[in-house]
A = this chain, B = another copy of it.
């Protein structure tokens, strides 16, 4: 691709100047349209060392109000980032609706450089290409404009620039060993870059190769492309995209109506079992910590099904330094302004840690579906997006355990009434709970579809029969212990 790309010709000075002025003015004007249309714009700058990515970013942002953009330079990973999935540091930086994010270097750099330096083998490389394609598709499917620029300079030009920097004491520090290595192995790098560009050049997020031998010319190319890209994206208000076929191995699951809810546990047995299981879980937590295995526990269930009490029995067994509970309510405005999985990417545990989600990303296919908070196309697409999300997690090495806490309608009524009649429990019951209860059948249909479509072999749902809360707690502990033991 890079070689197919034709050396463009830099226009004459006066034309260049005129076109630059036009493009700058257009971008300036477009920022307000972006805001109005709530378009999130992610601009990725990749390419050769010293090709001038940073300098062009500096030029581009001059045309945008500082409130509307963020720039991130993707240097070395922090210790924190090293303990997160490969895509983490990129996903958490996606822009919110109506704003720009410009990335100086990004996932392309990471994937190609790790390959070039033998840090990833062919298999791992291909897995990452897959991850990247899914990531970019998820963004564009969810209304993001993703613009990818590759800054190209020739081997000779790069050498010249590096030497120039090296000659001056004040700029010497800017030349990294990696830059020198790249120049020395230019052809090999070009091949690796080219392969990557080819593999990830999709019609919704295509690559633009920037001829970077002249700085103003590079700026112009980027500006004109950005203007064109934004104008195009603004025309598409809300697009419906094809619902992809599931490609993940699914487990066969029962419908909720088929789940028997008559199981109970004796008070004595409960306490004995609880002690035993919590002790075991505590041991396992240490082992997970030592082996740096992250665990993600996802709780969903009917109102008053007993999620809270169930979670307590898990956390009661854990070292508080090694876990976090995330209660998930409706998204905050800054969360709602981003891809719906963003707030969950942001709450992922570090390796060796446990994150417990009290309600989860599955809100997309339950409350958001039923209340119309997202379009039909959005929630239909979400099953696959969530399977992909969880696949990233398990590929990273995480254990993902998902609980559906199940009760029947009568038990819910009884618990609601009980809450209403007990002063210290009244805060737990709201009008919304009653309204949701009225939609029980619709919810049940949505939940059945969710369980059917997202019970992958690597992250299946576990249905906890919770008419007897104690029985459900013991079950949750047993399942969690079993899943952890499988992995250790």
Contacts and interface: CB of A to CB of B under 8 A. Distances in A.
Interface of A: 1, 4-6, 9, 137, 140-141, 202-209, 225, 228-229, 231-233, 235-236, 239-250, 252, 377, 380
B235 A140 contact: no
Contacts of A241: 203-204, 232
A1 B245 CA distance: 11
Chain A facing B: main interface SS: loop
B243 A233 contact: no
A203 B249 CA distance: 20
A242 B6 contact: no
Given A232-B240, A236-B239, A240-B233, A245 B4 contact: no
A-B complex: 3 closest residue pairs judged by Cβ atoms: A235-B240, A232-B240, A4-B247
A407 B250 CA distance: 68
A248 B4 contact: yes
A137 B203 contact: yes
Contacts of A252: 9
Contact of A242 (B204, B242, B243, B247): B204
Contacts of A228: 243, 380
Contacts of A242: 203-206, 229, 232
Nearest to A134: B203
A235 B238 CA distance: 9
Nearest to A375: B235
A129 to B, nearest CB: 11
Name the residue in A235, A245, A252 with the highest tally of chain B Cβ atoms < 10 Å from its Cβ: A245
Contacts of A247: 1, 4-6
7 contacts: A4-B247, A6-B246, A6-B248, A203-B204, A204-B242, A235-B240, A236-B239
Contacts of A246: 6
Q: Give this chain's copy count.
A: 2
A232 B377 contact: yes
Contacts of A248: 4, 6
A5 to B, nearest CB: 6
B203 A245 contact: no
Nearest to A240: B235
Contacts of A1: 247
Counting chain B CB atoms within 10 Å of each CB, the highest count among A9, A235, A249, A380 belongs to: A235
B245 A207 contact: yes
A225 to B, nearest CB: 8
A204 B205 CA distance: 12
A6 B252 CA distance: 11
A235 B380 CA distance: 14
Contacts of A245: 5, 206-209, 225
Given A6-B246, A203-B203, A235-B240, 7 more contacts: A5-B245, A208-B245, A232-B241, A232-B377, A236-B239, A236-B240, A239-B239
A431 B140 CA distance: 47
Contacts of A208: 245
A372 B241 CA distance: 27
A148 to B, nearest CB: 10
Nearest to A456: B6
Nearest to A205: B242
Contacts of A202: 202-203
A6 B249 contact: yes
A371 to B, nearest CB: 20
A137 B202 CA distance: 10
Contacts of A231: 240
Give the one of A141, A232, A242, A247 with max B CB within 10 A.
Answer: A242
Contacts of A6: 246-250
Contacts of A209: 245
A39 to B, nearest CB: 12
Contacts of A240: 231-233, 235-236
Contacts of A235: 239-240, 377
A240 B237 CA distance: 10
Contacts of A229: 242-243
A103 to B, nearest CB: 18
Contacts of A137: 203
A140 B242 CA distance: 11
A249 B203 CA distance: 20
A16 to B, nearest CB: 16
A247 B454 CA distance: 41
A380 B224 CA distance: 13
